[in-house]
Amino acid sequence: MPLSTREILLCPVCGAAVDAHPDLLACSSGHRFDAARQGYFNLLTGRGTRFEADSAGMVEARENFLSGGHYEPLRNTLAGAAARLAPHASTVVDAGAGTGYYLRAVADRFPGAIPVALDISKFALRRAARRLPDGVSLVWDVWKQLPLQSGSADLLLNVFAPRNPAEFSRVLSPNGVLLVVTPQPGHLAELREQALLLQVPDGKAGDVVDSLAGSLKEIERNSLEFDMDLSPAAVKSAILMGPAARHYEQGQLDAAVERLEGHQRVSAAFTVQAFVHA
C-alpha cells in the first residue's frame, strides 16, 4: 500500500503519527498493526468496543442490494456534492464506511486523494479494502477518539452512521466539508406499512444540526427522492442489511417476503446535508 499517511493517521495506543507500509501500520513509538489477509487493519485493541457490529449476513445483504443499483442515485448525488463543495480535497474519510460503496464513488472524483474507511465491522471492511486498494480501511469505533490527526480530513462522509460531533470537528480541516446522509420518514415507506421495517422518526435532519451545533454549521440541505422497483429478493436484502435484521427470528422474514406479490414499488427518500466549521 504505497500511501503517505504520516500526516493523516494517529496511533490509537500512544497518539503518535503512523506510517503505512505494504502490510503494516507502524508508529514512531513502535506500535504495529498488521493487515488482515483481506487488506484491512484492526485498530481496536484491548477491550475493543461495546457496540454490536454488522454481521457477515447483514454485510452480504447490503452488498447484494447495492450491487443492484438501487441506491445509485444517492451515490451519484453524494459524489456530485463532494466535488462541488470540496473540489480540492486530498483526504476523504468515511466514518461508518460499511463496504466502501459511497466512499469509492466520492474518491473517484478526486484523483490522487487518499480514501480512509472507518467502520466497526470487519466483515464490511473486507469488502471496503477490496474497493479501496488506493486507500486504508480501519476497524474502529466512531464513538471513540478517531485515529486521525487534527485537521487531516478535507472531506468527511457520514452515511446512515453514528456521529461523533467533537471528533468530527477536530479531524475536519479548516476548510473541510462534512456530508451527512439520513433517511426521511418516507424512506421505504411501503415496506414499513407492511410492518417489515421499523419507522423512521421525524426530524432527523434537524437532529443532525442540533447535535453538531457549536462546532459545525449547516451550509446546505437537499432532499433526494426516487422510486425503486424491488424484487422479493431485493426486498429481503433491504431488510436484512439494516438493524431490522436483528428483530427477525429464523425463517420469519422468509415467510413475510413470500406473501409479497411480485415486484414492489418502493420509495427512497434521503436528506443530504453539508457542514463546515462554525
Whether 6 shows a pLDDT value over 90: the answer reads no
* Mean pLDDT for the chain overall: 90
Q: Which three cell numbers stand for residue 77?
A: 448525488
Ramachandran region, residue 24 (left: φ > 0; alpha: ψ -120 to 50; beta: rest): beta
**Residue-level pLDDT at 48:** 58
Report percent pLDDT > 90 for the chain.
74
Lowest mean pLDDT among 61-70, 94-103, 160-169, 201-210: 201-210
pLDDT higher at 49 or 35: 35
Whether 199 shows a pLDDT value over 80: the answer reads no
Question: How confident is residue 209, by pLDDT bands cut at 50, 70 and 90?
Answer: very high
**Residue-level pLDDT at 2:** 39
- Tens of pLDDT, residues 71-96: 999 999 999 999 999 999 999 999 99
pLDDT higher at 165 or 199: 165
Query: Residue range 110-136: average pLDDT?
Result: 95
Whether 245 shows a pLDDT value over 90: the answer reads no
User: Is 122 in contact with 139 (CB distance < 8 Å)?
Assistant: yes
Report percent pLDDT > 70 for the chain.
93
Fold of the domain built from segment(s) 48-277: Rossmann fold (3.40.50)
User: Is 115 in contact with 103 (CB distance < 8 Å)?
Assistant: yes
Distance CA 25, CA 6 (A): 10
- CA-nearest of 215, 214, 114, 100 to 155 is 114
Residue count (the chain):
278
Whether 126 shows a pLDDT value over 50: the answer reads yes
Query: Residue range 36-44: average pLDDT?
Result: 94
Question: How confident is residue 198, by pLDDT bands cut at 50, 70 and 90?
Answer: low
Whether 3 shows a pLDDT value over 50: the answer reads no
Say which amino acid occupies 148: L
